[in-house]
Structure 1
Amino acid sequence: MTQQHSAKVSPIKQWSPIWVVPVAAVLIGLWMLYNHYQQQGALLTLYTSDAEGIVAGKTQIKSRSVDVGQVVSVELSDDLKQVIVKARMKPAITALLNADSQFWVVKPQVGRGGITGLNTLLSGVYIELQPGDSEEPQLQHQLLDTPPVAPADAPGIRVQLSTAESGGLAVGDPVLYRGYEVGTVEQSEFDLSARRTLYRLYIREPFDVLVSENVRFWLSSGFSVDLSAEGLQVDVGSATTLLSGGVSFDVMQGWQPGRAIKDGTEFQLFPNKQSIQDGLYSEFVEYLLFFDESVRGLKAGAPVEYRGVRVGTVTRVPFFFAVDKPFEISQQQGIPILIRIEVGRLYENLTLAQLRVELDKAVARGMHGTLKTGNLLTGALYIDLDINQDPNIDTSQQTQRLVLSQSAGYAMLPTARSGLSNIEQKVLMALDKINNLPVEQLLVQSERTMQSTEAMMQNANKMIAQLEAFIGSAQMQQLPAQLQQSLQDLQRMLAGLSPGAPAYDRLNGNLQTLDQVLRELQPVLQTLNQQSNALIFDASTATDPEPKRAKP
């Protein structure tokens, strides 16, 4: 039988050189793996509603046209409501990923500022990174639909605007100060809880010092026309606002600039500059007026004037307060109109209590309201206040109107018919008088008068015919010839008395002889004048008187 023996194993007492190669390979692999993760940088996560143009492994992330990362995956979220884009950033870029960083997709777009993103037509879209100014690191961000107007760290100030009106502004619209562009509308959103539109404005440096605590913001439309009771108002903005509109701000006339504001201060956005002026009058006294004539053309916001000076505003047209039968009241008492007399429109340092006292005195003196036409083109009306004893005031309904006003909690102001209504009433009265005239009797008398006139005209025609017959008779035809013959005879007679004719010479000689006889009779007449009996007795010749000598 063969005898078996077990082998004796002895351990090797030294390392074989062959093990150096695998150990070195493992160490190199670990180093390369560590170095790879060290150079990869942070993993960024972006959320968006649409990943149009974004491709994993191709779409780059850039900042100032420098590649800072690359998209590694694009996938839907678990609830399938949004897209999750993951990108690997470079290690040196990690400091730029903070809470204020913003990301958006750059692609060809046509907007108000022109055409942008044309360089992506060949290279494809990319994601732009705008670093923030925060110190809090953040690796999850929302991918913006549109690029931001200004960087978060841009010098300047940002303010919030709130308005109940929808529309009017869009992102990118200019912010103007007295027509000069100083900023841009940066963000627009609608607050569902407050039911208001919110805007964020960026006003660049150095114009941010113009925004103080008492500035007012209003919409600047490119071209607006206001044709109201106060007349025609045309507002033409700058060339920029003519195309896109914008928002303007300024301190109201007569105000001093206020204190500086903090970033993010909220202001109210007014629809226009006129509404700002109207909103300044926060203290007022309200009155209720009843008009028993048409109020067509009278609208809320129409002016209330006192002898041409605006003192208030029409608030409600019509104002149907809590009554059982408003239509019946309108028929019996008139259309109720609510107005307010504003303290700020009168003289300075006037308190609300003083205004009430002054108005009560004016009403006691006969102050009343009338409707007047403010614009003939549109028919817009306004309320004019005056103080006089107007006979057109209907005092029979004042008591009932006063009770209605007091039940509504307002003071009542008397009213009178306007001038046009008075003219209309007088025309109606004149028409009534004309309607009551005895027209039939007037027609009978007119007919008789016409018959008498016709008979008189017939008599006149007969008389004219007789006169024509008389003029056409033979005697009247011969009368001109006879008259001409008489004139010729008279002419011949006068020709015989002309100078050089015998009759003229004889008459001239007789007149000379008569003149000589008169001259010879002149001494005789003088003697008879002195002595009337000279023809019977001789006339004594009187000596001429001698002057006496004066006594010494």
Structure 2
Amino acid sequence: MSGANEEPDIPDLPAADPLPRSRWRMQLVWLVPIVAILIGGWLAVKAVMERGENITISFKTGEGLEAGKTRLKFKDVDIGVVETVMLAPDHKHVLAKAEVARDVAGLLVDNTRFWVVRPRISGGTVSGLGTLLSGSYVDVDVGNAAKARRDFVGLEEPPVFASDVPGREFILKSAGLGSLDVGSPVYFRRLQVGQIASYQLDPDGKGVTLKVFVNAPYDRFVKTDTRFWHASGFNMAFDSNGVRIETQSIVSVIVGGIAFESPPDSVEEADAAANTQFELYPTRTDAMKQHDRIIDKYVVNFADSVRGLVVGAPVDFRGIEIGRVTAIHTRFDAQRHSFSIPVEIEIYPERFTSRYQDGRTGGRISDDPRGIANYLVDNGFRFQLRNGNLLTGQLYLALDYFPDAARAKINWDKSPPELPAVPRTLQSLQDSVTRLLVKLNSIPFEGLGNDARTTLRTANALLSQLDTEVVPRAHDTLTSAQTMLDSANTALQPDSALQQSTADAMQELTRTAASLRTLADYLSRHPEALVRGKSGDKP
């Protein structure tokens, strides 16, 4: 029992030294929020680092734009999203703020372009039909400038070509737009090689400036002397082969187009630089006309009517067009109190030279143009108005040789110099008729009529006298003459007494002539018979 109450033997343990509790000791319960904070911070830093560039794009309207939904695409790849759409402070346009991915921020340069892609019909082409199901989006065309930019003005119309498309852009000047539009085709030998990129009205309102883009490699066919013309519709021409109808394509007939080509006799081989300016002609015929570099301006003064002569009418030299009419005016001469019509013209001296003569390709025919002009005028060359079209009455100016023209000189003191002219043929005929009528009016027809009436009365009296006196006497004379003729006829009959007497007389004359010949013959042999008589006779 006693053993039960005894304590067991416990070995001696070392005494524990108490340590002071650290005030920074972390408990496990705080590990979770710390990890959450670290993850959140990392996510925040990553979000900041991955956050894209913010840009602002200005559009005229907010059509097709929706905050948080409208995407920005480049080559059909999403590169950003429109975050907000709001009105500008001036309430005249819309500002779309978008976020663009950081890895494409380098594409945001000065000439980068933005536009809203939606269904469109322009220039005979249809685009953006895919947005009918997927919705509109903002397309991007990256520029090639070095300067970065974050504020842009969006295009209202999509560009015709992307910036990275090979080719060159050219500028065309035209008097009117016609049926052309952005996207209208550009043709070279009936092959579509480009399109119209844009157009705008000139600041002075006198023309239109167009920009056309010609794709490579066809842009190398645009030379410095290439001609552009409207290829809209079709051209109809009449020539020795009949009627010809020319058109570039059915598309150009409907929506219009532009064509270009170099002249057949062109010697220019240099390619035209980008943004070279050309003139856009209305037709191919106008485009292919000879374009002269030397132009001389003159004035031709006419005294007769110029009705039917218009600005642009040709100046012709024996069938060759050597110039054109540029202006028509009226002038009053206060000293002579008369009106005249001065017509301003342009003369192209290069058309008087031939490329087949000494290899010439142009220029003047002489280094002394005034001397040549004076020589022509001194030798009877004059300008004259002539009918160019009998149906329309249009006139043209002709330079020709008139040997009977009055002497004239060129007035070189005037600017431009004045060249002499002669009236047109019809006017000359009218002047001749007028002069003839003046002479006829100067004839005293009334006095001549009175004299003629007096003469007629005298003639009537003479005829009466002839009828009463001369005619009866003439009748008696004719009767006597008839009687004499009858007697002579009777006497000349073969069996008449006169004929018998005449025959006897002729026989006697014959015998007498024979006796005379005998006597003459005897006397020629015996001339002494004239004194002595015949030898057989006695004295």
Deviation of the 1:151 alpha carbon: 0.9
Whole-Å separation in 1 of the counterparts to 2:297 and 2:161: 48
Is 2:230 aligned against 1:219?
A: yes
Q: 1:177 to 1:366 in 2, by over 3 A?
A: same
Q: Which residue of 2 aligns with 1:536?
A: none
Whole-Å separation in 2 of the counterparts to 1:94 and 1:271: 46
Whole-Å separation in 2 of the counterparts to 1:13 and 1:306: 114
Is 2:403 aligned against 1:389?
A: yes
Q: TM-score, normalised by structure 1?
A: 0.67
Trace 1:262-411 onto structure 2 (pairs within 5 A).
262-273=273-284, 275-276=286-287, 280-318=291-329, 326=332, 332=338, 334-348=340-354, 349=360, 350-351=363-364, 353-390=367-404, 393=406, 405=411, 408-411=414-417
Deviations, residues 65-103 of structure 1 (Å, cap 9, x unaligned): 333321100112333333211112234433443334322
Given residue 72 of structure 1, which amino acid in structure 2 is its aligned partner?
Answer: E
Deviation of the 1:51 alpha carbon: 1.2
Given residue 264 of structure 1, which amino acid in structure 2 is its aligned partner?
Answer: N
Q: Which residue of 1 aligns with 2:154?
A: 143
Whole-Å separation in 2 of the counterparts to 1:283 and 1:363: 21
Trace 1:452-531 onto structure 2 (pairs within 5 A).
none
Q: Which residue of 1 aligns with 2:430?
A: 424
Q: Which residue of 1 aligns with 2:197?
A: 186
- The structure carrying a bigger helix percent of its residues is 1
Secondary structure of 2:311's aligned partner: coil
Deviations, residues 377-420 of structure 1 (Å, cap 9, x unaligned): 211111122223236x5x7xx68xx7xx5563243322222122
Secondary structure of 1:408's aligned partner: coil
Q: 1:260 to 1:236 in 2, by over 3 A?
A: closer
Q: 1:328 to 1:297 in 2, by over 3 A?
A: farther
Deviations, residues 114-138 of structure 1 (Å, cap 9, x unaligned): 3332332343321122334455543
Q: Which residue of 1 aligns with 2:256?
A: 245
Is 2:55 aligned against 1:55?
A: no
Deviation of the 1:54 alpha carbon: 0.8
**Unaligned stretches of 5+ residues in structure 2:** 1-19, 355-359, 461-539
Is 2:196 aligned against 1:167?
A: no
Deviations, residues 503-536 of structure 1 (Å, cap 9, x unaligned): xxxxxxxxxxxxxxxxxxxxxxxxxxxxxxxxxx
Q: 1:388 to 1:196 in 2, by over 3 A?
A: closer
Secondary structure of 2:48's aligned partner: helix
1:304/1:312 contact within 8 Å kept:
yes
Q: Which residue of 1 aligns with 2:120?
A: 109
Q: In percent, how many aligned pairs have the same letter? A: 29
Q: 1:150 to 1:253 in 2, by over 3 A?
A: same
Given residue 158 of structure 1, which amino acid in structure 2 is its aligned partner?
Answer: E
2:332/2:339 contact within 8 Å kept:
no
Q: 1:16 to 1:382 in 2, by over 3 A?
A: same
Q: TM-score, normalised by structure 2?
A: 0.68
Q: 1:329 to 1:142 in 2, by over 3 A?
A: farther
Given residue 363 of structure 1, which amino acid in structure 2 is its aligned partner?
Answer: V
2:380/2:401 contact within 8 Å kept:
yes
Whole-Å separation in 2 of the counterparts to 1:152 and 1:306: 51
2:325/2:344 contact within 8 Å kept:
yes
Given residue 123 of structure 2, which amino acid in structure 1 is its aligned partner?
Answer: R
Deviation of the 1:296 alpha carbon: 0.9
The equivalent position to 1:120 in structure 2, one of 104, 109, 131, is 131
Given residue 167 of structure 1, which amino acid in structure 2 is its aligned partner?
Answer: L
Q: Which residue of 2 aligns with 1:17?
A: 28
Whole-Å separation in 1 of the counterparts to 2:298 and 2:319: 19
My pick for the range that moved more, 283-292 or 194-203, is 194-203
Q: 1:81 to 1:159 in 2, by over 3 A?
A: same
My pick for the range that moved more, 406-415 or 123-132, is 406-415
1:105/1:126 contact within 8 Å kept:
yes
**Unaligned stretches of 5+ residues in structure 1:** 1-8, 453-552
Q: Which residue of 2 aligns with 1:66?
A: 77
2:227/2:288 contact within 8 Å kept:
no
Q: 1:95 to 1:363 in 2, by over 3 A?
A: same
Whole-Å separation in 2 of the counterparts to 1:343 and 1:59: 65
Deviation of the 1:269 alpha carbon: 3.6
Secondary structure of 1:61's aligned partner: strand
Q: 1:298 to 1:21 in 2, by over 3 A?
A: same
Q: Which residue of 2 aligns with 1:99?
A: 110
Q: Which residue of 2 aligns with 1:254?
A: 265
Secondary structure of 1:15's aligned partner: coil
My pick for the range that moved more, 53-62 or 129-138, is 129-138
1:104/1:143 contact within 8 Å kept:
yes
1:281/1:344 contact within 8 Å kept:
yes
Secondary structure of 2:367's aligned partner: helix
Deviations, residues 443-488 of structure 1 (Å, cap 9, x unaligned): x98xx99xx9xxxxxxxxxxxxxxxxxxxxxxxxxxxxxxxxxxxx
Is 2:418 aligned against 1:412?
A: yes
2:333/2:339 contact within 8 Å kept:
no
The equivalent position to 2:97 in structure 1, one of 79, 86, 93, is 86
Deviations, residues 198-226 of structure 1 (Å, cap 9, x unaligned): 32221112211112233233333424579
Whole-Å separation in 1 of the counterparts to 2:424 and 2:379: 19
Secondary structure of 1:104's aligned partner: strand
Whole-Å separation in 1 of the counterparts to 2:23 and 2:302: 124
